[in-house]
Structure 1
Amino acid sequence: MKTIKGPGIFLAQFLGDTPPFNTLDSIADYMASLGYKGLQIPTNDPAIFDVKKAAESKTYADEIKGKLKEKGLEITELSTHLQGQLVASHPIYNPLFDAFSPKEVHGNEPARREWAIEQVKLAAKASKNLGLTSHVGFSGALAWPFLYPWPQRPAGLIDTAFKELGKRWKPILDVYDENGVDYCFELHPGEDLFDGTSFELFLKHVDNHPRANINYDPSHFVLQALDYVQFIDFYHERIKAFHVKDAEFNPTGKQGVYSGFAGWADRAGRFRSLGDGQVDFSTIFSKLSQYGYDGWAVLEWECCIKSSEQGAREGAPFIESHIIEVVTRAFDDFAATGTDENVNRQVLGL
């Protein structure tokens, strides 16, 4: 068993145009003051973190690490959630997802995809330069619009979609392998990889690639009514990153998993700040520790009720209180009698 690192925090939901959220330096000071020890850094804004520069310049990577170390912080992982989304995008979403890319590739999906793939590959090299071994992001989605099997799906449609998804991701995963980094897919509704079954289907089409792993986020499983604890039993060997995010699911006589197109505050399934939802984090931290997960516990704040500032303030002590310092000896060692084969045989009546 190993002890989980933390607390860490994902910066994506906090970045903005006003201090202290407009520069990496100032937001790092802010998060350190709240008790965080690690930052998960999005790579879609060069003004915050230049992923191309970090991939090409070890000096730049070392400078970033050094500045954060002075503040008592480490980088937990880099994130390419937005770029990963664009590796595979069903055409129906193209106008919405253009906003995740530079203007010069808007309206041109092949060019946008090429840009996104290059970004994700750069993140692998940047991670290596930063001394990181895990990375987080999305898979993108070709099959998601056909999630519910009505109208009846044409035979082989999902297999064709996942075959194409695997074709696009396998070369990317090879780059991650070359750089000694795990790509941890956040299993998330809206992505083709959203639960264990879809992840297994993907693994089939990337030849069980060793770098295809999981960013475990129980909140997305609560909203699907999936057993998020047993999930760890099934997939712990592939869990290489951990988003600590709470959620609640309260179905009624009017709505369930799909929530009737309601806004976030009125949905049966809602993301909540830590401690305000239904996720059993004590069991999760115990399970992950039992299975030897030694990566970071990273807060991803998303809540439709509580402010991000309050969520961040409460998040660090919440995570800290759940981290288990794993045992280094058995609790009943005081009663050990040593090893004696003769005694063992006598006890067994041999």
Structure 2
Amino acid sequence: MKTIKGPAIYLAQFLGDKAPFDNLDNLATWAAKLGYKGIQVPVDSRLIDLEKAASSQTYCDELLGTVADAGVEITELATHLQGQLVAVHPAYDELFDGFAAPNVRGNPAARTEWAIQQLKLAAQASRRLGLDTHVSFSGALAWPYVYPWPQRPAGLVEAAFDELARRWRPILDAFDEVGVDVAYELHPGEDLHDGVTFERFLERVDGHSRANILFDPSHYVLQQLDYLSFIDIYHERIKVFHVKDAEFRPTGRAGVYGSYSGWTERPGRFRSLGDGQIDFGAIFSKMAQYDYPGWAVLEWECALKHPEDGAREGAEFIRRHIIRVAEKSFDDFAGSGVDQAQIKKVLGL
């Protein structure tokens, strides 16, 4: 069995204009001082030059040296924003355009091609950094039709997933060429947001070995999905683990859909680790049971607690939950040393 690596922290929510949140060196040092051993790095120009990382081993070695000197290592690169732009329904064109490079804004076709190229660069950069997993969103074409009213035209969902798979297949092949998995964060707002939608996609990419999952139980609490059974079903595809808490407290006025309320008023909301309802003891046990090979990565999102407090508390929370797996069975002391001949005798064979 494998002991989960960690604690690690996803840096996206902490990026800012002032030290220590303004660059990779400062953030790595800050994370190490809090007790983190790994950092998950969003592909943001303040942290990494993606084109340079994809083409220059010297640059990647310098990045690795920077974080190692700080006392941490890079767990994965993450392209949530770029992955989102691989597939955008026209209803979201204006809102998502700001995620793209200025030269492709206002041109959906060019934006899609730019996003696909960004993912292919991320594959190369991940390999140069010695990483075997990458994190992203799937994007969405069918999300505006998630609740079937008016009735969806027959074939709409199938056509959307056919197109999503068509766009992602060459990206997955590019990751396969360099030996890196893509772990999709199954997330509301994405066409891949639960087990069924992941399976729809996986079927269309012919069970591609590089199409995998980032497991984040907070998104399943808000959907009222059984996050422990999810691990039982999909553990072979789970390559990344976001340790993020959440709670769902429906009222007589609001439920799963949230009633357009802000995050502090929604029945389902994200919380700092330990402040929500998720059974992390059971999750870490299942991860150990199934030999999860990766990191336990804090993703902090909470409408109530200060992020620096959430980060500080999160390191100790994860450290406390990581199970150092047993090297032998607890009842080995009672082994009788019976050989095959004796076993047949015991069974009367």
CA deviation string 1:253-280 (max 9, x = no partner)? 1111001111100001000000000111
Partner of 1:150: 149
Q: How big is the shift at 1:297?
A: 0.5
CA distance in 2: counterparts of 1:325 and 1:69, whole angstroms: 24
Equivalent residues in 2 for 1:249-328, closer than 5 Å: 249-328=248-327
CA distance in 2: counterparts of 1:233 and 1:105, whole angstroms: 42
In structure 2, the residue corresponding to 1:100 is in which secondary structure? coil
CA distance in 2: counterparts of 1:328 and 1:341, whole angstroms: 24
Partner of 1:106: 105
CA distance in 2: counterparts of 1:214 and 1:165, whole angstroms: 16
In structure 1, the residue corresponding to 2:223 is in which secondary structure? coil
What TM-score comes out, normalization by structure 1 length? 0.98
Partner of 1:348: 347
Partner of 1:115: 114
CA deviation string 1:231-269 (max 9, x = no partner)? 001000000011000000011111110011111000010
CA distance in 2: counterparts of 1:7 and 1:206, whole angstroms: 33
CA distance in 2: counterparts of 1:67 and 1:291, whole angstroms: 33
Equivalent residues in 2 for 1:156-305, closer than 5 Å: 156-305=155-304
In structure 2, the residue corresponding to 1:265 is in which secondary structure? coil
Partner of 2:17: 17
Q: How big is the shift at 1:111?
A: 1.0
Q: How big is the shift at 1:70?
A: 1.6
AA in 2 matched with 1:64: L
In structure 2, the residue corresponding to 1:266 is in which secondary structure? coil
AA in 1 matched with 2:34: L
AA in 2 matched with 1:308: P
Which moves more between the two structures, 72-81 or 102-111?
Answer: 102-111
What percentage of aligned pairs have identical amino acids? 64
CA distance in 2: counterparts of 1:104 and 1:345, whole angstroms: 75
AA in 2 matched with 1:283: A
CA distance in 2: counterparts of 1:123 and 1:289, whole angstroms: 29
Q: How big is the shift at 1:282?
A: 0.7
Which moves more between the two structures, 255-264 or 76-85?
Answer: 255-264
AA in 1 matched with 2:4: I
Aligned length: 349
CA distance in 1: counterparts of 2:46 and 2:189, whole angstroms: 28
CA distance in 2: counterparts of 1:248 and 1:220, whole angstroms: 10
Do the aligned partners of 2:244 and 2:270 also contact (CA within 8 Å) in 1?
yes
| CA RMSD, Structure 1 to Structure 2 (Å) | 0.9
The answer for unaligned runs of 5 or more in structure 2 is none
CA distance in 1: counterparts of 2:340 and 2:102, whole angstroms: 74
In structure 1, the residue corresponding to 2:78 is in which secondary structure? strand
Asked if 1:30 is matched to 2:30, the reply is yes
CA distance in 1: counterparts of 2:242 and 2:39, whole angstroms: 12
CA distance in 2: counterparts of 1:265 and 1:114, whole angstroms: 37
AA in 2 matched with 1:41: V
AA in 2 matched with 1:14: F
AA in 2 matched with 1:317: E
Do the aligned partners of 2:188 and 2:219 also contact (CA within 8 Å) in 1?
yes
Partner of 1:40: 40
Asked if 1:74 is matched to 2:111, the reply is no
CA deviation string 1:104-149 (max 9, x = no partner)? 2111111111111111110000000000000001000000000001
AA in 2 matched with 1:144: W
The answer for unaligned runs of 5 or more in structure 1 is none
CA distance in 2: counterparts of 1:56 and 1:345, whole angstroms: 62
AA in 2 matched with 1:310: D
In structure 2, the residue corresponding to 1:264 is in which secondary structure? coil
Q: How big is the shift at 1:51?
A: 1.2
Q: How big is the shift at 1:347?
A: 2.7
CA distance in 2: counterparts of 1:226 and 1:52, whole angstroms: 38
Partner of 2:136: 137
In structure 2, the residue corresponding to 1:76 is in which secondary structure? strand
CA distance in 2: counterparts of 1:190 and 1:283, whole angstroms: 27
CA distance in 1: counterparts of 2:323 and 2:47, whole angstroms: 33
Which segments of structure 1 move beyond 3 Å, counting only runs of 4 or more? Answer: none
Q: How big is the shift at 1:331?
A: 0.4
What TM-score comes out, normalization by structure 2 length? 0.99
